[in-house]
Amino acid sequence: MPPIESPGILTTLLAFVLVLGPLVFIHELGHYLVGRWFGVKADVFSIGFGKELAGWTDKRGTRWKLSALPLGGYVQFAGDMNPASQPSPEWLSLPAEERNRTFQAKPLWQRSLIVLAGPVTNLVFAVLILGGFTLAYGKVVVPPVVGEIQAGSAADRAGIKIGDRIVAIRGHEMDSFLDVRLEVGQNPGEPLDIVVLRGEQRLNLATSASVKIESDRFGNTQKIGFLGIGPKSFEIVRVGPIDAAVDGVRQTGSIISMMVNGIGQIISGKREVKELGGPIKIAKYSGEQLVSGWQPFVTFVALISINLGFINLLPIPVLDGGHLAFYAAEAIRRKPVGQRGQEWAFRTGLALVMALMLFVTINDVASLKVFGG
């Protein structure tokens, strides 16, 4: 086995800051800019939590600061005096003109867009990165046509032949060979219902994906599904800005689909819980991608940006998705959820998020074998 490379602790920390810092900034900038657009005053724009390390106050009265715990950030809008962002006696006592510039004074649709802006900005940022690569280097077009088959493989056992065009796997349409690899790769050891087009004949075949353990130059291993086929041909097509953006959206959607599928597999027990990662594992991978080159590193930034946007849209109180869930309830009920109910929900959500953070951190430490084993 070749020696396992390591980027070193300083490189890892630098890479972690280079990944997380800008992504947190653009997330909070999304909230801030849409809030400003709707005339909401921001009191604080913070990268990190806890004690302020450095900062300044701009001419609009917003305090921009860098705080001690760099695992997130926040924008505190004027009048936002409690976790549930509900009107309070302090808010009601504000002069009318000042109160009109607060978050709570805005109509429901504006508050929703302000909250939604953070995660959407992360997703748009990822689309720009992935679409930018497509624009710069072209789109790789690989038709889902079989060009090679490994003897004795899952594909061979299923009766797949060279020249077959794979139409669907597990009910999902296959537009390219990459779709085939993603679908099979996400389902190691799982039954696969495959539809192929052989000449004019449409055939339904069945097999189970083989299990393959892949290892990279840093010793990271991953269990994937393996069919044992290769593509017949591929080409690189130059595209314009619009097609590149569309491809960026497609890639982002595919990654989100993989995340949803992965969470479902962990919940159902098809994947191990240890595959979940937290800040330590993100830092580790950040360092590894940084020493691998700027393209892998920027692609990794896009992946984490998608992850950040997706997680923040989950309907968990304290996350943006939790706020949006309450706004949806408010739209249906024609009145806000009670302040006491929201406060209890946010306390519960905070406890869940903190428990998950603790779990994934312990999981990260265990996976790094800090204490041997």
Alpha helix (H) residue ranges in 89-206: 89-92, 96-99, 108-137, 154-158, 177-185
Q: What is the three-class DSSP state of 309? A: helix
Say whether both 108 and 132 belong to one domain: yes
Q: Is residue 314 part of a domain?
A: yes
CA dist., res. 280 & res. 286, Å (int): 10
Q: Is residue 76 part of a domain?
A: no
Catalytic residue among 28, 97, 190, 343: 28
User: How confident is the model at residue 37, as a pLDDT?
Assistant: 96
Total domains in the fold of the chain: 2
User: How confident is the model at residue 99, as a pLDDT?
Assistant: 75
CA dist., res. 157 & res. 306, Å (int): 37
Q: Is residue 255 part of a domain?
A: no
Q: Do 258 and 178 meet the contact criterion of CB atoms below 8 Å apart?
A: no
Residues 6+ apart with CB under 8 A from 91: 79, 81, 99, 102, 104
Please report, as a single letter, which amino acid is at residue 17: V
User: How confident is the model at residue 8, as a pLDDT?
Assistant: 85
Q: Do 310 and 302 meet the contact criterion of CB atoms below 8 Å apart?
A: no
Q: Is residue 85 part of a domain?
A: no
Say whether both 98 and 145 belong to one domain: no
Q: What is the three-class DSSP state of 20? A: helix
Residue 53 phi/psi, 5° resolution?
A: -95, -35
Q: pLDDT below 50 — which residues of the chain?
A: 1-3, 370-373
User: How confident is the model at residue 233, as a pLDDT?
Assistant: 86
Nearest one of 360, 316, 188, 185 to 255, comparing CA atoms: 185
Alpha helix (H) residue ranges in the chain: 9-37, 89-92, 96-99, 108-137, 154-158, 177-185, 241-268, 279-292, 294-312, 320-333, 339-367
User: How confident is the model at residue 144, as a pLDDT?
Assistant: 94
User: How confident is the model at residue 87, as a pLDDT?
Assistant: 60
CA dist., res. 209 & res. 224, Å (int): 9
Q: Is residue 276 part of a domain?
A: no
CA dist., res. 215 & res. 102, Å (int): 52
198-223 pLDDT tens trace:
999 999 999 999 988 887 777 777 88
Say whether both 29 and 120 belong to one domain: yes
Say whether both 132 and 30 belong to one domain: yes
Say whether both 118 and 150 belong to one domain: no
Q: How distant is the alpha carbon of residue 316 from its chain centre?
A: 16
CA dist., res. 304 & res. 130, Å (int): 12
Say whether both 294 and 352 belong to one domain: yes
Name the DSSP letter for residue 274.
Answer: G
Say whether both 109 and 165 belong to one domain: no
Q: Identify the burial level of 267 via C-beta atoms within 10 angstroms of its C-beta, where 0-12 means exposed, 13-18 middle and 19 or more buried.
A: exposed
User: How confident is the model at residue 335, as a pLDDT?
Assistant: 85
Q: Is residue 272 part of a domain?
A: no
User: Bridge-partner residues for 237, per DSSP?
Assistant: 139
> Which of the listed residues 237, 272, 306 is the one where a domain comes to its end?
237
Say whether both 175 and 227 belong to one domain: yes
User: How confident is the model at residue 86, as a pLDDT?
Assistant: 59
Say whether both 99 and 143 belong to one domain: no
Q: Do 82 and 55 meet the contact criterion of CB atoms below 8 Å apart?
A: no
- Half-sphere exposure (Cβ direction) of 255: Cα atoms closer than 13 Å: 22
Q: Is residue 80 part of a domain?
A: no
User: How confident is the model at residue 161, as a pLDDT?
Assistant: 94
Supply the range of the domain harboring residue 109: 9-38+94-136+285-367
User: How confident is the model at residue 98, as a pLDDT?
Assistant: 74
CA dist., res. 76 & res. 85, Å (int): 10
Place of tokens 């959607």: 253
Name the DSSP letter for residue 273.
Answer: G
Q: Do 82 and 104 meet the contact criterion of CB atoms below 8 Å apart?
A: no
Say whether both 307 and 207 belong to one domain: no
Q: What is the CATH number of the domain that holds 150?
A: 2.30.42.10
> Which of the listed residues 237, 261, 294 is the one where a domain comes to its end?
237
127-181 pLDDT tens trace:
999 999 999 999 989 999 999 999 999 999 999 999 999 999 999 999 999 999 9
Q: Identify the burial level of 333 via C-beta atoms within 10 angstroms of its C-beta, where 0-12 means exposed, 13-18 middle and 19 or more buried.
A: exposed
Say whether both 196 and 292 belong to one domain: no
Q: Is residue 68 part of a domain?
A: no
> Which of the listed residues 208, 237, 266 is the one where a domain comes to its end?
237
User: How confident is the model at residue 40, as a pLDDT?
Assistant: 94
Please indicate whether residue 28 is annotated as part of the active site.
yes
Say whether both 109 and 195 belong to one domain: no
CA dist., res. 28 & res. 183, Å (int): 34
Q: What is the three-class DSSP state of 183? A: helix
